[in-house]
């Protein structure tokens, strides 16, 4: 059984070398071919002098070389750092500097885009460039991809499952992105757990639509490889590209974030998809009820999995499809091999239906934030005696992830997301969850997308502001929208202002609607007109 990240690939390759593993564009590689390429990448990194635990970053769209770099770096005993291909040069340089990357793998097109920015990364020794000859860029030595993988095979450094495997950078909507450290154990345990409840098998074809820099995006690879499934890499521009890929590749499993699901439900679906799409999964925020209802009507035989996760623990909860009709607003219960607690500020357990902080303990709890002891101490904290599996006689501390998310647990143990503590709207003496306001807005069927947030108000504390887009092919009537909200929401939760804007709302690099960016833009406009 695999216990290191690279073994997820190599163990399957040893059993099923000729089975399809990875599709990108019109090309499909077998498990044997992907494993050989990853082995050659690992050997090439060794010839570049990469030492155990050093960081290897990659700034690439999804392609075979991207996957081989991640698993090859792990094979060498290095730490891989996926950089979202949507990031700008200065953002790329920040990540490379922050994690002290020794090697950055990129393409010939991208290297010219970022060369001047990464010139100011003192620890960066090598740029590995696909389609380039040896030379120099940004004052860094360039090694061509072909030369890297042509190096003779060499064994990697010895590592164990508690060693650092990857650093995944959060989107950074509240400032500079933070690097979440995940061990081999974290990532392998996550792959086994997710694959078990999704019932992934070699007969599956999984569509990789999320960025590999996003924990749920990389999970498509780890769960797929653990199960021996085929993973289809997709760099999509428009939501219809996702539908076309689902139909063309006869995809059986798709995981996406709510904004993408919302867009997909506004498009006509090829009829064939319903015949082979075995499951859909949601992550990165609560899926609006109306969106879920449309998907289930479109896909009557497809199992919906509603999930919750945080990068700091890779994956936390899921709602079994059998419970969706009874509890469509629930994020479910803990995934296998994890325990989810709901705690008060004093560390004691909340009563049923009492709001508290979601706390995750178990094998998926990460290793903290790279080079940031203060933020690590805020989020990764020891459990007090008597909480979870802690007994007074246990001497060594156990660190759990305190998520910062407010949830409640019902009498049957099912969890319900309320909101992030730093995003809660405080209005008229009440604490209001922006997701609850958005849920009511989506239920009206009068909007395409929506984001709610609080803005300072002299009498209310904060007033509720909503930025929304019109539904496809129609106009958005704000008076009608507010009238519908008054029917379903108490007066203090009805938006005070609704602004309409065309086109999709801005996303953060992981594809989620960037509520904080919208709030900042609104406050700037408000200040300029004051």
CATH of the domain at 112: 3.40.50.980
In a domain, 213, yes or no: no
What's the pLDDT band for 172 if we cut at 50, 70, 90?
A: very low
In a domain, 196, yes or no: no
Question: Distance of CA 425 to CAs 100, 420, 464, 483, Å?
Answer: 38, 10, 7, 21
Q: What whole-number distance in Å separates Cα of residue 356 and Cα of residue 354?
A: 6
Give SS3 for 396: coil
The H or E element spanning position 115 is helix 108-118
In a domain, 201, yes or no: no
* CATH code: domain of residue 370: 3.40.50.12780
Q: What is the mean pLDDT of residues 469-484?
A: 94
Give the domain-ending residue among 419, 449, 481: 419
Sequence-distant (≥ 6) Cβ neighbours of residue 497 within 8 angstroms: 455, 463, 464, 465, 466
Q: What percent of the chain has pLDDT above 70?
A: 99
User: pLDDT tens-digit profile of 53-96?
Assistant: 999 999 999 999 999 999 999 999 999 999 999 888 988 999 99
More confident residue, 286 or 184: 184
pLDDT band at 287 (very low <50, low <70, confident <90, very high): confident
- Beta 126-130 vs 140-144: how paired, if at all? parallel
State how far the Cα of 212 lies from the Cα of 204, in Å rounded to an integer.
19
Task: Using the predicted structure, report yes or no on whether residue 509 has a pLDDT greater than 90.
Answer: no
Together in a domain, 323 and 273: yes
> Is there a single domain that holds both residue 406 and residue 478?
no
Q: What is the mean pLDDT of residues 237-243?
A: 94
Here the CATH number for the domain that contains residue 488 is: 3.30.300.30
Q: Are residues 131 and 271 in the same domain?
A: no
442 and 466 share one domain:
yes
Q: For residue 160, name the pLDDT band (cuts at 50, 70, 90).
A: very high
More confident residue, 428 or 205: 205
Domain span at residue 457? Answer: 425-529
| Domain identity same for 449 and 329 | no
Domain identity same for 153 and 82: yes
Domain co-membership, 249 together with 381: yes
For residue 480, being part of any structural domain is answered with yes
Say how many domains are in the chain: 3
> Does residue 235 surpass a pLDDT of 90?
yes
Q: Within a domain: residue 493?
A: yes
Same domain, 31 and 161: yes
502 in the Ramachandran plot: left (φ > 0), alpha (ψ -120 to 50) or beta?
beta
Q: Averaging pLDDT over each range in 67-81, 278-292, 301-315, 377-391, which range is the top one? A: 67-81
> Whole-prediction pTM value?
0.86
- Residue 265: inside a domain, yes or no? yes
**Bridge partners, residue 464, by sequence:** 454
Mean pLDDT on 172-185: 79
- Which residue, 166, 182, 198, sits at the end of a domain? 182
Q: What is the mean pLDDT of residues 308-337?
A: 94
Between vectors from CA 332 to CA 330 and to CA 337, what angle results, nearest 5°?
160
- Point out the domain boundary residue: 419, 445, 464: 419
pLDDT for residue 472 is more than 90: no
Q: How far, CA to CA in Å, does 429 sit from each of 250, 422, 462, 482? A: 52, 16, 9, 21
392 and 490 co-located in one domain:
no
pLDDT over 80 at 429, yes or no = no
Mean pLDDT of 243-272: 95
- What is the average pLDDT across 25-46? 97
pLDDT-wise least confident of 164-173, 266-275, 440-449 = 164-173
Mean pLDDT, rounded, for 216-220: 96
Q: What is the pLDDT of residues 141-150, one digit of tens each?
A: 999 999 999 9
How confident is the prediction for the chain on average, in pLDDT?
93
Same-domain check for residues 173 and 240 = no
Q: What is the pLDDT of residue 173?
A: 39
Residues 121 and 268 in one domain: no
Task: Give 429 or 307, the one with higher predicted confidence.
Answer: 307
Has residue 53 been placed in a domain?
yes
Farthest-apart Cα atoms in the chain, separation: 71
Same domain flag for 166 and 257: no
User: Please, are residues 411 and 384 in contact by the beta-carbon 8 Å criterion?
Assistant: no
**Residue 296, SS3?**
helix
pLDDT on residue 505: 94
Q: Mean pLDDT across the stretch 281-305?
A: 93
| Residue 175 confidence (pLDDT) | 53
Do the Cβ atoms of 244 and 267 come closer than 8 Å?
no
pLDDT of residue 390: 85
């Amino acid at each position: 059984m695999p216990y290191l990240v690279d073994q997820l690939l190599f163990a399957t390759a040893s059993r099923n070398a000729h089975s399809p593993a990875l599709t990108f564009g019109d090309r499909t590689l077998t498990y044997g071919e992907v494993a050989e390429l990853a082995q050659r990448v690992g050997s090439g990194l060794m010839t570049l002098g990469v030492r155990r635990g050093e960081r290897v970053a990659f700034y690439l769209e999804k392609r075979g070389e991207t996957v081989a770099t991640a698993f090859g770096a792990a094979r060498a005993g290095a730490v891989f750092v996926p950089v979202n291909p949507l990031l700008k040069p200065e953002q790329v340089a920040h990540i490379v500097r922050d994690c002290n990357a020794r090697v950055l793998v990129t393409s010939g097109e991208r290297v010219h885009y970022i060369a001047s920015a990464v010139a100011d990364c003192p620890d960066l020794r090598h740029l590995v460039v696909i389609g380039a000859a040896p030379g120099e860029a940004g004052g860094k030595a360039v090694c061509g991809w072909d030369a890297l993988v042509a190096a003779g095979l060499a064994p990697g450094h010895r590592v164990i499952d508690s060693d650092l495997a990857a650093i995944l950078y959060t989107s950074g909507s509240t400032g500079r992105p933070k690097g979440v450290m995940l061990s081999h154990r974290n990532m392998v345990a996550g792959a086994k757990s997710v694959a078990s409840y999704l019932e992934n098998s070699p007969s599956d074809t999984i569509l990789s639509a999320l960025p590999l820099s996003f924990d749920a995006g990389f999970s498509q690879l780890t769960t797929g490889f653990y199960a021996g499934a085929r993973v289809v890499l997709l760099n999509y521009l428009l939501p219809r590209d996702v539908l076309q890929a689902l139909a063309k590749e006869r995809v059986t499993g798709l995981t996406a974030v709510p904004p993408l699901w919302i867009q997909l439900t506004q498009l006509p679906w090829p009829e064939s998809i319903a015949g082979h799409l075995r499951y859909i999964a949601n992550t990165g925020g609560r899926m609006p009820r109306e969106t879920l209802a449309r998907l289930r009507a479109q896909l009557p035989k497809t199992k919906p999995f509603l999930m919750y996760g945080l990068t700091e623990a890779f994956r936390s909860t899921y709602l079994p499809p059998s419970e969706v009709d009874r509890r469509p607003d629930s994020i479910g219960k803990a995934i296998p091999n994890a325990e989810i607690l709901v705690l008060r500020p004093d560390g004691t357990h909340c009563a049923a239906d009492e709001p508290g902080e979601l706390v995750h303990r178990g094998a998926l709890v990460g290793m903290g934030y790279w080079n940031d002891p203060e933020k690590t101490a805020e989020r990764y904290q020891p459990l007090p005696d008597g909480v979870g599996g802690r007994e007074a006689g246990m001497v060594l501390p156990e660190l759990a992830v305190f998520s910062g998310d407010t949830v409640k647990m019902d009498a049957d143990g099912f969890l319900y997301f309320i909101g992030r503590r730093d995003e809660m709207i405080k209005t008229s003496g009440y604490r209001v969850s922006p997701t609850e306001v958005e849920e009511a807005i989506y239920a009206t069927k009068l909007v395409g997308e929506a984001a709610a947030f609080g803005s300072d108000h002299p009498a209310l504390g904060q007033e509720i502001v909503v930025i929304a887009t019109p539904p496809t092919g129609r106009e958005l009537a704000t008076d009608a929208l507010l009238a519908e909200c008054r029917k379903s929401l108490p007066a203090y939760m009805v938006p005070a202002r609704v602004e309409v804007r065309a086109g999709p709302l801005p996303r953060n690099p992981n594809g989620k609607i960037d509520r904080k960016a919208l709030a900042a833009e609104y406050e700037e406009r408000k200040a300029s007109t004051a």
